[in-house]
Structure 1
Amino acid sequence: MRGAAKKAAVEGASEELERRSQYLSSLIHRTKVKSEADQKEDVEDKQEEEKKGIKDGDGFDGDPPQEQRQPPNVKVRASDMPLALQKRAFKCARETLASMPRLESKRLACALKKEFDSTYGPAWHCIVGTSFGSYVTHSLGGFLYFSIDKVYILLFRTAVEPIDR
């Protein structure tokens, strides 16, 4: 009986490893596919910066790799989100913060949620504050936790399933 239990445990662990391996493979594949789109977006961003007269490297210390290129006051704390979506979140958050004389957490959260719901489909959630705890479940590729100065922002997506009536 012990041998059967041990064999079942090993098979269960093997299935778990296979599931995790497939998840990582799909994540790597999506990242490779997205990197082509990100490169195109970077070219468009550079052209836009040239039109505005922004010199290469303005607002950055040196010229870090594409994955790390972001303004100095933005720090990614945790992410399972393509770079293009991350950049969109940073841009939206900075613009919304710049339009406020003082931090209005609810307004910033609403702006990010509406932007992502309208652009990428429903079921985005956003939590903003200077101190909060969270424990959430998110859809694959739909999680970003970052800070701008001392404001922390958690943006994540959940799956939406239609209700059968």
Structure 2
Amino acid sequence: MREKSVMDGASEELERRSRYLSSLIERTKVKGDAKQEEDKREKEKEKEKGRDDGGDGRKIEDDLKEMENIRVRAADMPRELQRRAFHCARETLSGMPKLDSKRLALVLKKEFDSSYGPAWHCIVGTSFGSYVTHSLGGFLYFSIEKVYILLFRTAVEPLDHQRP
């Protein structure tokens, strides 16, 4: 009886998270294109002025060069982590004569696991479907040219008990 109530609670939580993710993706789709155009115009203005972006010491030109051919499809991740993912993906791809999806996924996962703690997952390819649950602030889905990259983090909880 208790197992059923635990399962019902887990199912409800999964459903709640799924609805949240769906609404996040929908909001990102609606706002994404308009925001992307607005950001592009803003960056062009800043570039003309020669200002640094975000106080992190990076020049606008560096960000624009790195963002070339990168398109954020959906994100629930701080911009600095997004930049790190873009940079790591671009560096890895530039060192490959042809796309090795598995290697790129491994490099991104290891980079984020070592820098931001465990339980990062990465899916890379030119065509795939997915439906994932992620930790708050740990989701990025983007493309570089025709390569799509899904990077997300899940919570890791220690097991308090052993199953009988």
TM-score by shorter chain over 0.5: yes
By how many angstroms is 1:57 displaced?
3.3
CA distance in 1, matches of 2:62, 2:55: 20
Name segments (4+ residues, structure 1) moved above 6 Å: none
Match of 2:114 among 115, 118, 121: 118
CA distance in 2, matches of 1:74, 1:100: 17
Q: In structure 2, do the counterparts of structure 1 residues 87 and 59 end up closer, same or farther at CA, with 3 Å as the change threshold?
A: closer
CA distance in 2, matches of 1:164, 1:141: 26
Q: In structure 2, do the counterparts of structure 1 residues 58 and 138 end up closer, same or farther at CA, with 3 Å as the change threshold?
A: closer
TM-score (norm 2): 0.63
Corresponding residue for residue 50 of structure 2: none
Q: In structure 2, do the counterparts of structure 1 residues 158 and 58 end up closer, same or farther at CA, with 3 Å as the change threshold?
A: closer
- 1:39 matched to 2:54? The reply is yes
**AA aligned opposite 1:146:** F
Residues 1-165 of structure 1 mapped to structure 2, 5 A cutoff: 39-41=54-56, 43=57, 45-46=58-59, 57=61, 60=64, 71-165=67-161
CA distance in 2, matches of 1:58, 1:160: 35
CA distance in 1, matches of 2:133, 2:103: 23
Q: Contact between 2:66 and 2:87, CA under 8 Å: does it hold in 1?
A: no
CA distance in 2, matches of 1:122, 1:58: 29
Aligned residues: 112
Unaligned runs of 5+ in 2: 1-15, 21-52
TM-score (norm 1): 0.62
Identity %: 71
**AA aligned opposite 2:123:** I
By how many angstroms is 1:91 displaced?
0.2
Task: Mark the structure with the bigger radius of gyration.
Answer: 1
